[in-house]
Chains A and B, each alone.
Chain A
Amino acid sequence: MADVITVEHLTVAFPAKEGTGEVVRDVSLAIGAGERVGLVGESGSGKSLTARAIMRLIPRPGAITGGTVRFEGAELAPKSAPKWRGTKLAMITQDPLSSLNPLVKIGTQITEMLRYHRRLSRSEASAKAQELLRSVGIPDPRRTMTRYPAVLSGGMRQRVALAIAISCDPRLLIADEPTTALDVTVQAQVLTLLERMTAEHGSAVLLISHDLGVVGNFCDRLLVMYAGRIVESGPTAQVIGDPAHPYTRALIASIPSLQGELPDRLASIAGSPPAGGAHAAGCAFAPRCPLAREVCRRADPALEKIQSSSRTVPGDSHQAACHAIGDDTWNQAA
């Protein structure tokens, strides 16, 4: 069966005075039906723009300068967007006030979707909308339909945004930092809801976050991005339990945890993530990498499969982009 989304060698660039201005560089990924994939990275990693590229929503003056995005085998064109945006591919973002029109009643926003895409009558759409609101846990759906988004709390707004996104049974739901602005107990609710709704509607999920805990607990597969590239990918348990790329390892080591041993100091990574678009040749992580060598500064490493002693499911391989992979003689003396 064709993957829901296939991205091959995607490159997104913004016009820049120096350097190439590429904020997403040669990114390839595939999401299968019903799969839950996580995209994790810090600022400048390009994760949000990758998502927007899939939805064909790159803000000007940026543009896709290379690669392809395919939905179920066929290429997605911006011109045909009304056919698939919101219906086959849906997205919710960090701030639901930007995906919800603050000047239109909630009920109208949902019924509008249903009537336009599903050709439902006014009463059918209204009933379905209430049912949707109930299924996302909104108390008193009938009253909520008549209200405006601004009177709802953050958690409620996200539920409404989710209801709208899921209303047409999208094959893929992209959630870009959906819980970053929410309280932690509300975040737990929304993530549980996301899990349930996407399972019920059979949607695959691309969950994007800077929070490794959020994607780690939600997704089957993880993609770690740094400076516009995917530096590690694989099944969640492997990427988090046995990270191969120095960036992933350092990132995990630097996160304090509620359980386990309490360190005296947190392992930190020197320097800062590079600002989007400007970088020298070679591996973007080299300036901060404790293992960096001459070759790292010259050549950008490609994603390589990690030979692990545990069983590797084909198509589910654990990969990392680092020159040190597979080289047993790599040592610190640079």
Chain B
Amino acid sequence: MTAPPTGPLLGGELPEAALEPGTAAELAAVADEPGLGRRALTSLRRDPVALISVLAVVILALIAVFAPLLAPHNPLQAYPNGLSSDGAPVGPGSSFLLGTDPNGRDVLSRLIYGARVSLLVGVVATGLASAIGVLVGGIAGYAGGIVDTVLMRITDVVLSFPILLFCVALIAITGPSTRNVMLVIAFGYWTYLARIVRGLVLSLKEREFVVAARTLGVGHRAILRRHILPHLIPAIIVYSTLGIATSILIEASLSYLGIGVPLPQASWGQMISQGQEYFQTAPWLLIAPGVALILTVLAFNLAGDWLTDLLDPETSGDRR
């Protein structure tokens, strides 16, 4: 073998320093990734549509929570000066900013309290639906076999009904009330999340880190809690956000049909139903709740889209 071409070191053995992993070099290689909060703010700054919709959702929540403070009048009260001399509803004016309804009640206040109803029903119904969906889908996916088959057939049966019809049928049995509306929507909506969750759990079960946990000796309950559930959360959040929009719409539809939130409590659905009749003479009765409903559902849908984009990269987890 020829003599080494350059100085003594390059020709000899590599010094010891090269033989062990250097901690400085190791740490330098690992970058700090921005946290979820920071990423959320950055993406909101870049996307004005998402920003507006998220703000809208927040404002709506605030309106719903602080309704008693914000509503200028009592929404259930029929005001004598709310009706004109010939008993017709009064249009938007100084005392009733959005006018009154045929009973002399303040539209604005009813709108605000209606927001409360919509949001309450939306959140509770969706929360309940998510809980049921995750439970059913999770058990079906993880247990597999006959349990999976039975649970999924049940899910399919419920899914085969158009959700609104399903809810109408259930309300017919239970009778209309705010509480029943929430229950009924939950029983109609859980199936969507159940399917998603089952699919996710099926694929998660096969992931190497779950296999590794089993090999480690971790029990099923701990695996579900530590490894499966955290991976379901992004999907749950996304579907819940979209679910709220759907729930609000279903509640409005049921109330519109007269079998949802009962009078005299205010609900946008009822107000739309009522407003329909008076469209020629008192258009504000229809326009106000209609616009409110559209904007709310739109806001939740867009915010849900933004959340999907935000949480999606986290769903896959690793950064190569």
Where the two chains meet, the residues of A that have a C-beta atom closer than 8 Å to any C-beta of B are 241-242, 244, 246, 249-250, 253, 265, 267-272, 274-275, 287-291, 306-310, 318, 324-332
Contacts and interface: CB of A to CB of B under 8 A. Distances in A.
B1 to A, nearest CB: 7
Interface residues of B, number: 23
Interface string B248-292: 000000000000000000000000000000000000000000000
Contacts of B21: 268, 270-271
A19 to B, nearest CB: 12
B275 to A, nearest CB: 51
Contacts of A253: 14
Given A268-B19, A271-B26, A287-B28, A249 B14 contact: yes
Contacts of B3: 309
A326 B17 CA distance: 23
Most chain B CB neighbours (cut-off 10 Å) among A246, A270, A274, A308: A270
A327 B11 CA distance: 12
A307 B22 CA distance: 33
Contacts of B4: 242
Most chain A CB neighbours (cut-off 10 Å) among B8, B18, B25, B28: B18
A271 B25 contact: yes
B35 interface: no
Given A290-B14, A310-B2, A267 B9 contact: no
A271 B14 contact: no
B18 A331 contact: no
Given A288-B25, A324-B10, A270 B18 contact: yes
Contact of B29 (A272, A291, A308): A272
A244 B15 contact: no
Most chain A CB neighbours (cut-off 10 Å) among B1, B6, B15, B24: B6
B5 A308 contact: yes
B7 interface: yes
B206 interface: no
Nearest to B10: A324
A249 B10 contact: yes
A290 B12 CA distance: 12
B15 A290 contact: yes
A285 to B, nearest CB: 11
A288 to B, nearest CB: 6
A325 B6 contact: yes
19 contacts: A244-B5, A244-B6, A250-B18, A267-B14, A267-B19, A268-B18, A271-B26, A272-B26, A272-B29, A275-B29, A287-B24, A288-B18, A289-B18, A306-B5, A308-B5, A309-B3, A330-B7, A330-B9, A332-B15
B1 A328 contact: no
Interface in B23-67: 24-26, 28-29
A308 B17 CA distance: 27
B98 to A, nearest CB: 49
Contact of B22 (A265, A270, A325): A270
B160 to A, nearest CB: 34
A244 to B, nearest CB: 6
Contacts of B29: 271-272, 274-275
B86 interface: no
Nearest to A334: B17
A267 B15 CA distance: 10
B245 to A, nearest CB: 34
Given A272-B26, A325-B6, 9 more contacts: A242-B4, A244-B6, A250-B14, A265-B19, A309-B2, A309-B5, A327-B6, A330-B7, A331-B7
Contacts of B318: none
A332 to B, nearest CB: 6
Given A270-B25, A288-B25, A326 B1 contact: no
